[in-house]
Chains A and B, each alone.
Chain A
Amino acid sequence: MKVPLSWLNEYVKLPPKITPDQISQAFINVGFEVEAIDRQGENLKGPIMVGKVVSIEELPENKKPIRYVELDLGSKQNRFVICGARNFKVNDLVVVALPGAVLPGNSVISARQTYGKLSDGMICSAKELGISDEHAGIIVLPQGRIGSDATELLSISDVIFDIAINPDRGYAMSIRGLARELAASLRCKFTDPADSNILPKLKVLKNGKAVSVKIEDKTGADQIYIRTIEKVNVKNPTPIWMQRRIDKCGMRPISLAVDITNYVMLELGQPLHAFDADMVMGGLRVARAGKFSRLTTLDKVDRKLESDNLLICDTKSPLALAGTMGGLASEVTSSTTRIALEAAHFDPISVAKNSRSHKLSSEASRRIERNTDPMMAEVASARAVKLLVDLAGAKYVGSSVAGVPIKRRKFKVSISKVSKFIGYGYSIKQVKESLSLIGCKVSGGGDLITVEVPTWRPDLNTMADFAEEIVRLNGYQVIPSRLPIGKTGGGLNKMQQRKRQVAQLLANQGFSEVINYPFVSQEMVDLLGFTGDRAKSFKIANPISAEAPLLRTHLLPGLLTTLGRNVSRGIKDLAIFEIGSVFRNTTTLTKAVMPETSRRPSSKSIQSIYAGVPKQMLFIGAVVAGETLLSNWHGKGVGFIWSDAVAKAIEIVESTGNEFEVISSDLAPWHPGRCAEIRVAGKPIAHAGELHPRVISELDLPERTCAFAVILSELPTAQTTKAPAIWNQPATVQDVALVVKSNVTAAEVEKALRSGAGNLLESILLFDRYDQIGEGKVSLAFTLSFRASDRTLTADEVAEYRDAAIAVATRSCGATLRS
């Protein structure tokens, strides 16, 4: 909310030399964030005067219409100025900056020759004076003395604080509330604007001519005042001082009756609504929409009502969306003479629902949602009637009231409990003072004091609520600092350790980590050829971009996009990786369980809440293009190829202590002949290899870009490592060259050799592969290394093991010894 210092000054007796920054700090100290300080008129220098338009000469020959205006400024000679605006006529009062005046933005006004005329000043718009963004036309004043200082008339010189109001402090969305807070923060005198002596003069008058009211839905409101006035001159202009205050608070002056309701709302925080009383059939009712199905609101939108919308109705039809927006049919118009002025204490939740179901947030609904002071219905309606009488010549007819008596809530607050909760020993004086400052009535003198809570503070209910008030008004700085230490032992769990370890592993090997948005387009899903679970995307109902409404089912979409972005920035050699969750819509989602929050839900409810959240697997993925060992003066570098991708994926799986097997795969978006699937315990855990050339060309990526992805969360946690026996006897090696059909994989052959070679086999290394041996055949040469614990193996013994290994390879892979 925006509040002008000039208005606060009426209710807070501020220290004489206080600066705007100090005031801002005082607000911040008690929890009101000042988002901006607007020092209006700071860079303004006169003379800026009220002038009357005497004559207007149109200068038609220009591109845009230009006027040459004769002005009476109260001196003997009239002044002539050029003006581009058209929203004024002869006899209008305008604001004129004379030569020598300085406007915001350091624009110095001088007499100058323009459009073939001498322009001896400038007629100002609100924007030019720095008092609003309004620049559609110049200011036309409703009243003012010719030749007087316009800056004073417009009360330009002011400081406006733009304050963020937290949702639990509805009372502070008013001058009344913020003045109280400022006074409390600075410990200076506060006068409550609601305590002025309006009420005695505007007693509730029963009168048959007054519009009646009843509350039919008791859950919707507990307090409503309808005050009826007649002979209202709605066409009277709103006085400048009122317009300016409304302006400064960030609202727009509209017409006298509306301006008065807004003005009172800004001052006291109580939203008001004025009905044209002649449009009300019978009496007013607070009721749910029920069978009423439509209402056209003031913004001329025909709205379909929900049956539980809270309304103000007359006997026949709905007239307003309660606390949210009035209806068009009963709007106060220029022909209105009788007004029924409504002020009510509505149920915040009902109004929040009104606002939410119609996506309609108004100044009124924002206040009511955050709770208003029930006492203000009576006071604010009286205040508004007084203003209508004074400014619109209205006559107060009478009032109707409905509702229940307003409760005075009392609590016992234990000072020692508050002190123990906060960790600072508050004195009884500190507690009493701070609670009194916010409007509580405090009595009692021991540890347990009695606190009567003001009607505008429904948020004060528990010990912690009172503690917060005591803390904020005494300052957080008094609380000591103490460091507590956990008692159950801390640390990372296995998956957290794994995540950290694999990230470090890749980073140490030249990979750069990226963190991508998980938002994906359907086009990307199609392009990458995702099928099965990877095609089952969740859709965001309200995405940032309509093009990318899906949640990723895999890390590749983001990685490839980011790779492309880097390539487009001229980076040729790239290895990037990401660790992140993926989202697959693979379980049947049922209607969610939403238990009460006033106590712990049953175990069954908790379990069904947990079960309603889909499993989100954690992946590590990487894409690589170009060289990983870089070319330089030593010579050509080394590019990253499909088998490097497979090796990296294996390295990750191995680093988690899992056994694995590698088989060939044709999973999209990989190259169907260059993709390895890595399985752990028979389950696919990783894919690695070169990407499909079509994907590479569609995404404009470097040729032969490689990728791998490992499902970290599906890798079992390894058992504690058993240390191997380290044998010191010499190893004996045997080389074996085998010929197999080219569709037999190296892994299959190696597995066969391993299983046949016996338990003295220490290692197998594929040292050569030769595919020029004949159509459809390939030669694989392995070094088998054997070692025994207790002796040097003889050549004969090792030859025996080798032959046994070959025999298994022959049997299971069709391998023959290369001759």
Chain B
Amino acid sequence: MALDQAQINRDLASALAAIASAANLDVMKQIKIDYVGDKSPLAKANQLLASLEQVQRAEFGKLIGAARAEINQAFEKKNIELSAVRDSQVLLTEKVDVTLPGRRTLKGGLHPLTILTNEINDLFTGLGYKVAEGPELESEWLNFDALNIPVDHPARTMQDTFFVEPLDAKLVLRTHTSPVQIRTMLDERPPIYVICPGKTYRSDELDATHTPVFHQVEGLVIDENITMADLKGTLDFFAKSIFGENVKTRLRPSFFPFTEPSAEVDVFFDDRWIEWGGCGMVNEKVLVGCGIDTTKFSGFAFGMGLERTLMVKHGIKDMHDIVEGDVRFTQSFGVGKK
């Protein structure tokens, strides 16, 4: 069998025509056998090259090679096209309604008081504070006497205290987290930078704005050269972090036995002033009672109700929602929403 240039061109043309008209990948498989594989006319023609003279061999070799390359290229191109068509058709049949709900576990959530406490703890540990905690059933001495609230002082009855039997053991459910401040001052030496979050108790009936069991966070700083300016700066930072950059704060003179001067701190949020907490410079009597050298150190303290903070921040209308443990309430805050 001799090689014929016209035949090569015919083979090339018919291969290209077959490829061009192929309708699917099955046809392409046959085309591969017929026009591309070892048994294709051009493959067979190629085998004949060996029997040719060198000049002819080079000439036909070039011709056949170019034809086969052109076929391969066309084949690959068509193959890619048809694969894409096939894929899109098949995947179309596997289409689902992705809006169908998936298998879901129960929705969990942290109590917003926990989320808030975590947020505050992170805020202050970032400022170099430690988090101090103490017992809820507390010594009356630490809860009152050490805080300059003597037995027969009207301030002692200002806070409606739960007393625990036997009475001569002088145990109370702490009315504030301030005894933790005293414990810290008795146990450590200045400089002291602590934040004290925790559960506190006062014998108020539960209603829309009161609860006998509530949460406070207090801060205490004892260091050299601590002034009310430091207190103000800390409160400004705290308020902005909790309520947003645009919040304003204001101090109003007030009275607490354990601070002098004392002030209430208000925040301007949602277009109104809201009482947020109390603060002041730690009363010298309290410092002296804890053995702190007042010629060298001064300090400030502040305290806020967390329920109140939550109510203001999240627009919670009724205290019942915070205390009742309805999972719908907790779930709405998720596992750590702000």
Q: Which A residues have a C-beta under 8 Å from some C-beta of B?
A: 28-31, 33, 166-169, 348-349, 352-353, 356, 366, 369-370, 420-424, 462, 464-465, 467-468, 471-472, 476-477, 479-493, 496, 500, 503-504, 506-518, 538-544, 551, 562, 565-566, 569, 571, 573-576, 580-581, 583, 589-595, 597-601, 606, 609-610, 612-614, 616, 627-630, 632-634
CA distance A464 to B126 in the complex (A): 30
- Closest 9 CB pairs between A and B? A486-B128, A423-B227, A423-B229, A600-B291, A31-B253, A486-B193, A166-B255, A514-B325, A468-B261
Q: Which residues of B contact A349 (CB under 8 A)?
A: 150, 152
A512 x B327 contact (CB < 8 A): yes
A467 x B261 contact (CB < 8 A): yes
CA distance A634 to B225 in the complex (A): 66
Nearest B residue to A626 via CB reads: B106
Nearest B residue to A544 via CB reads: B212
Interface code B23-64, partner A: CB below 8 Å = 1, 0 otherwise? Answer: 000000000000000000000000000000000000000000
A600 x B154 contact (CB < 8 A): no
Nearest A residue to B109 via CB reads: A512
A487 x B128 contact (CB < 8 A): yes
Q: Which residues of B contact A597 (CB under 8 A)?
A: 145-146, 148, 150, 285, 289
Given contacts A472-B253, A483-B127, are A462 and B165 in contact (CB under 8 A)? Answer: no
15 pairs, A vs B, C-beta closer than 8 Å: A167-B154, A477-B251, A484-B234, A486-B130, A486-B191, A490-B128, A490-B130, A490-B131, A538-B165, A542-B162, A551-B164, A566-B326, A592-B169, A594-B145, A633-B100
Given contacts A167-B255, A514-B111, are A540 and B164 in contact (CB under 8 A)? Answer: yes
CA distance A477 to B250 in the complex (A): 7
B137 x A464 contact (CB < 8 A): no
Which stretch in B11-19, B68-76, B86-94, B328-336 binds the other chain?
B328-336
Nearest B residue to A511 via CB reads: B108
CA distance A606 to B212 in the complex (A): 29
Consensus secondary structure, chain A interface: loop
A464 x B261 contact (CB < 8 A): yes
Our count of residue pairs bridging A and B at CB distance below 8 angstroms stands at 327
Can you name 6 extra interface pairs (CB under 8 A) apart from A471-B261, A507-B335? A29-B252, A465-B260, A513-B114, A540-B164, A594-B141, A613-B171
Nearest A residue to B157 via CB reads: A356
CA distance A370 to B158 in the complex (A): 13
Q: Which of A349, A424, A589 has the most CB of B within 10 A?
A: A589
CA distance A481 to B260 in the complex (A): 18
A488 x B191 contact (CB < 8 A): yes
Q: Which residues of B contact A599 (CB under 8 A)?
A: 288-289, 291
Interface code B95-114, partner A: CB below 8 Å = 1, 0 otherwise? Answer: 00000111111111111011
Interface code B104-147, partner A: CB below 8 Å = 1, 0 otherwise? Answer: 11111111011000100100111111110101111111100110
B326 contacts which of A500, A565, A613, A628 (Cβ < 8 Å)?
A565
Consensus secondary structure, chain B interface: mixed
Given contacts A464-B281, A486-B129, A592-B170, are A513 and B253 in contact (CB under 8 A)? Answer: no
Given contacts A468-B260, A517-B212, A544-B205, are A571 and B328 in contact (CB under 8 A)? Answer: yes
A600 x B229 contact (CB < 8 A): no
Nearest A residue to B237 via CB reads: A483
B154 x A464 contact (CB < 8 A): no
B213 x A517 contact (CB < 8 A): yes
B324 x A565 contact (CB < 8 A): yes
Interface code B223-262, partner A: CB below 8 Å = 1, 0 otherwise? Answer: 1011111101110110000000000001111110100111
A476 x B289 contact (CB < 8 A): no
CA distance A593 to B169 in the complex (A): 9
Q: Which residues of A contact B67 (CB under 8 A)?
A: none
Task: Judge if B2 is at the interface, Cβ distance under 8 Å.
Answer: no
Given contacts A422-B229, A544-B212, A598-B288, are A609 and B141 in contact (CB under 8 A)? Answer: yes
CA distance A424 to B125 in the complex (A): 28
For the complex formed, measure the closest distance between the CB of A135 and the CB atoms of chain B, giving whole angstroms.
26
CA distance A616 to B134 in the complex (A): 10
CA distance A599 to B170 in the complex (A): 21
CA distance A514 to B124 in the complex (A): 25
Q: Which residues of B contact A574 (CB under 8 A)?
A: 106, 327
Q: Which residues of A contact B100 (CB under 8 A)?
A: 633
B163 x A482 contact (CB < 8 A): no
Q: Which residues of B contact A590 (CB under 8 A)?
A: 169
